[in-house]
Amino acid sequence: MCYKSNIAEWQFASDITDENERLKLEQSLVAARFEKEAWKNITSFNWQPFTDPDLKRKFKLLSVLGPSALPEDKLTQYRKSIDAMEKIYSTAKICSFANPGDCGMNLDPEITEKMSKSRNFDELKHVWQQWHEQSGGKMRHHYEKFVQLSNEAAQMNNFSDTGAYWLRNYESDTFKEDIEGLWQTIKPFYLQLHAYVRAKLRAHYGEDKVPKDQPIPAHLLGNMWAQSWGNIDDLVTPYPGKSSIDVTPEMLKQGYTPKKMFEMSEEFFTSMGLLPTPPEFWSGSIIEKLVGKEMVCHASAWDFCNGKDFRIKQCTKVNMEDFIVVHHEMGHIQYFLQYKNLPLVYREGANSGFHEAVGDSLALSVQTTKHLKEIGLLDKSTPTDHEATINYLLATALDKIAFFPFAYIMDKWRWDVFDGSVTSADYNCHWWKLREEYQGIRSPVTRSEVDFDPGAKYHIAANVEYIRYFVSFVIQFQFYKSLCVTAGQYDPHNPSQPLHECDFYRNKEAGAKLGAMLAMGSSRPWPEAMRAVTGQDRMDANAFREYFKPLEVWLIAKNKELGEPVGWNSGGLNCQKNP
Ligand SMILES: O=C(CCC(O)(O)[C@H](Cc1ccccc1)NC(=O)c1ccccc1)N[C@@H](Cc1ccccc1)C(=O)O
Ligand SMILES: [Zn+2]
């Protein structure tokens, strides 16, 4: 991310105009010429036999040029296809269901709000279908062009295809097997959660809308992509009326602003002795949607590689979901700050999953009942008995467990497309085959190859790799558990104090341990960075299982009590190859 972020990119992302798009393209061609020159120099050395491990690692990391290897005309086409898709995604609008004359609904905030709050089956279906049509539906030919050029670039870099080029980041011959192994460990738990949520959705929408042993209709989960289900906690919470981690009403009541949310997040980091943001961060960042401009609202953190200029661009809404996103983005900034004195080549995460896990690991502490009481967002009298615990763990599971199959198929689909096992004739039906097989969800309306539903998700349109989030959702529980042990907030041999209530706020030892790992950047293979925090050198789902243990037992019993079958019949794939 470091040598890639530049001002022209920022300008386009924060003000989508033809002029800014042209300048961004011009900048990227200038950067490509420089990168190509540097690459010729680097690869003119016979560096493989080098013995100094650090020097050899620098050459290894710099010896991969990436898409800049393409000749300028093809690089221009490559950039134009991605920029076109990102522009379509970020400016797409739909008409309202209730007032068909209002056709100015953007994904952020109007459509997202509807998907989160509406409990009207037909309104949700309308919003879901219109968004998929106005975003992905308009990208198909751009994506086909992108795939072809991206694979050409990958092959020029001596990779079989773009998927292989992406996976180099994880420096492991068994990475795909490791991911599959982690999925097999988590899958039984996901099936239980899926069964329970389907039962609760049936209770609300009726048997005909949510049939017993079928996949769940994709538009009912509180999120456009059914990737996190936290927004339907009100429909599924086991013990209504007990505590809920959704402290949005209290945030609004206390007059929270986006600025205050960022300041509170920064204070959590500095309370652990981690680094504060510099003045440039506050003057350069955009933390609210700009009025009267088209901008890329999907959140992002930017490192301008000069050791001073670090920014976040986020169309922040005052709610709990965005409070967590603020911490996610501030986690990226903390990594930038910690490795800012390393050589440019090392100013990256130990792997891309590490970069995604920093903020989320701290957010697990922030969202605890204990911490929310400490900062005055939860009443001190809020119960923390067994029922409150089940409510809390279920609400967290709706975001953290539901996410795994989604993250997996986001790149499974692309790996299949890049390695050619899926051609553009099958793009959309393959997507829905994976969506049913792994997530157990189904499109609410019949699909065909006229549609291009993967493009309805930012990371496909903007060409951002996604398995990093699967990795993050595993390792963030490893980091959280280790920091809890370091902070004396959890004793694995005496789980009297359950893991999920640990809050390492203000703990300097935990901060020092995390900071030391972040300061390594990508200077060492990621297992060494993992060992620096957890003592282990591998991804391990056990911390995740330990965290949710009380819920797993409860869910299995509950599904039996409800007589809810676990799993679903596939086969009714409602995607027509030739409409
Ligand atoms: O996409 C994001 C958050 C945005 C980001 O911080 O990961 C952002 C994505 C992005 C945007 C533009 C270009 C490249 C990537 N990533 C960064 O800003 C970033 C990435 C690498 C290093 C430093 C910063 N989260 C994912 C997954 C997720 C994560 C956590 C909770 C919920 C959901 C999503 O929303 O589907
Ligand atoms: Zn991120």
| pLDDT tens digits, 390-401 | 999 999 999 999
Compute the distance from residue 300 Cα to the ligand 1 centre, in Å: 6
Closest ligand relative to 335 C-alpha = 1
Rounded-to-5 percentages of helix, strand, coil across the chain = 60, 5, 35
Look at residue 188 in the predicted model and tell me its pLDDT.
97
Ligand 1: atom nearest CA of 335 is: 23
Instruction: Give the tens place of pLDDT for each residue, 146-169.
Output: 999 999 999 999 999 999 999 999
Q: Rg of the chain's alpha carbons, rounded to an integer?
A: 23
The reported pLDDT for the residue numbered 579 is 65
- Candidates 89, 221, 228, 300: which one to mutate for ligand 1, based on the most atoms within 8 Å of Cβ? 300
Residue bearing the CA closest to ligand 1, atom 12: 300
Judged against a pLDDT cut of 90, whether residue 460 lies above it is answered with yes
Give residue 354's pLDDT: 98
Residues 346-351 have a mean pLDDT of 98
Distance CA 456, CA 413 (A): 14
**Segment 503-518 mean pLDDT:** 98
CA 292 and chain centroid, separation: 28
What single letter denotes the amino acid at residue 521? G
Res 129: pLDDT: 98
What percent of the chain clears pLDDT 70, i.e. is strictly above it?
99
Could you tell me the maximum CA-CA distance found in the chain, to the nearest angstrom?
A: 69
* Phi, psi for residue 20 in degrees, rounded to 5: -70, -30
What average pLDDT is seen over the chain? Answer: 96
Pocket (CB within 6 angstroms of ligand 1)? 1, 227-228, 298-301, 328-329, 332, 355-356, 360, 462, 464, 469
ipTM of the complex: 1.00
Check residue 578 and give its pLDDT: 76
Task: Quote the pLDDT of residue 4.
Answer: 59
88 has pLDDT over 80: yes
- Using CA positions, which residue lies closest to atom 29 of ligand 1? 469
Dig out the tokens for 536 from the structure: 């282990």
- Give 508's DSSP letter: H
Summarize pLDDT for 397-447 with one digit per residue, the tens: 999 999 999 999 999 999 999 999 999 999 999 999 999 999 999 999 999
The pick from 225, 310, 316, 464 for probing ligand 1's pocket by mutation, whose C-beta has the most ligand atoms within 8 angstroms, reads 464
Residue 348 known to be catalytic? no
Give CA separation, 547 vs 20, 210, 238, 392, 487, in Å.
46, 30, 18, 11, 17
CA of 370 to the centre of ligand 1 (A): 27
Residue 508 in this model has a pLDDT that exceeds 60: yes
pLDDT at 6 (0 to 100): 87
Which of 142, 194, 328, 459 is flagged as catalytic? 459
Express each pLDDT in 1-54 by its tens digit.
Answer: 566 568 999 999 999 999 999 999 999 999 999 999 999 999 999 999 999 999
Could you confirm whether 204 is annotated as catalytic? no
Distance in Å, CA 357 to ligand 2 centroid: 8
Beta bridge partners of 130: none
